[in-house]
Chains A and B, each alone.
Chain A
Amino acid sequence: GESVGLHLPTLSVQEGDNSIINCAYSNSASDYFIWYKQESGKGPQFIIDIRSNMDKRQGQRVTVLLNKTVKHLSLQIAATQPGDSAVYFCAENPPRNTPLVFGKGTRLSVIA
């Protein structure tokens, strides 16, 4: 999930298990959402996106769920692997041609 403060929330999962990372977004008018993965010392990398007219989208081993009623986004990673260890950020696209707004991030740690 998301939190305010100096330390990122951390999710630890066993290799092979499924991971669920949550995000609360702020603007009910946002119409586009993205999940990014950031490995140590690198820039964020696009994972999957979803538009507000959908509530679920699947990629390879990843699924994004959108609940507009409660302004909640989640990323599900199936069969989590050590290479999935990273910080995951959600981002929302507010209206009126403004840049993406990023969440605080969640650190995923995979236990081999």
Chain B
Amino acid sequence: DGGITQSPKYLFRKEGQNVTLSCEQNLNHDAMYWYRQDPGQGLRLIYYSQIVNDFQKGDIAEGYSVSREKKESFPLTVTSAQKNPTAFYLCASSILAGSNQPQHFGDGTRLSIL
């Protein structure tokens, strides 16, 4: 089945620790995205990538970093600089950004602070 796989489903971070969230897609999509969702709120864009080896900051990029070394993979690192990392993180992909095509989402990773 084609789709987007996020792992792990639950993740715990200690103070001062960096953690990396995985996102893999087998839809052959060029564009990938990371969103943060806080309880009872909408989606806020962290980073997106339209092509391998290129990515752009979204609205709330501070304290996060990404890489796009392969078309299928777009890992997100939550660094120790992100002081309030507890949230639900969603990865998405689409054929192209702004291409009048929907984004497809994974089932998220819930990150909590220990």
- Are B97 and A43 within 8 A (Cβ)? no
Which residue among A8, A44, A94 has the maximum number of chain B CB atoms within 10 Å of its CB? A44
**In the complex, how many residue pairs between chain A and chain B have their CB atoms under 8 Å apart?**
62
List residues of chain A with CB within 8 A of the CB of B42: 89, 102-105
Q: Which residues in chain B, 19-59, are within 8 Å of chain A measured between CB atoms? A: 31, 33, 40-43, 45, 48, 50, 58
Cα–Cα, bound, A6→B92 (Å): 24
Interface residues of A in 33-91 (CB under 8 A from B): 34, 36, 41-46, 49, 51, 89, 91
Let me know if B90 and A44 touch, CB within 8 A: yes
Decide: A99 and B104 in contact? CB cutoff 8 A: no
Number of B residues contacting the other chain (C-beta, 8 Å)?
27
B63 at the interface (CB under 8 A from A): no
Interface residue tally on A, bucketed by range: 20 to 34
Query: What secondary structure prevails in chain A residues at the interface with B?
Result: loop
CB neighbours (8 Å) of A104 from chain B are: 41-42
Q: Is B105 an interface residue (CB 8 A)?
A: yes
Within 8 Å CB of A46, what residues of B?
102, 104
Are B105 and A99 in contact, CB atoms less than 8 angstroms apart? no
CB distance B58 to A43 under 8 Å? no
B98 and A96 contacting across the interface, CB-CB below 8 Å: yes
Nearest residue in B to A35 (C-beta to C-beta)?
B102
Which residues in A have some Cβ–Cβ distance to B below 8 Å?
6-8, 31-32, 34, 36, 41-46, 49, 51, 89, 91, 93-100, 102-105
Q: Which 4 A-B pairs have the closest CB atoms?
A: A43-B105, A97-B98, A32-B100, A104-B42
**8 further A-B pairs in the complex, CB-CB below 8 A; given A43-B107, A44-B43, A99-B103:** A7-B40, A34-B103, A43-B105, A43-B108, A44-B105, A51-B100, A99-B31, A99-B58
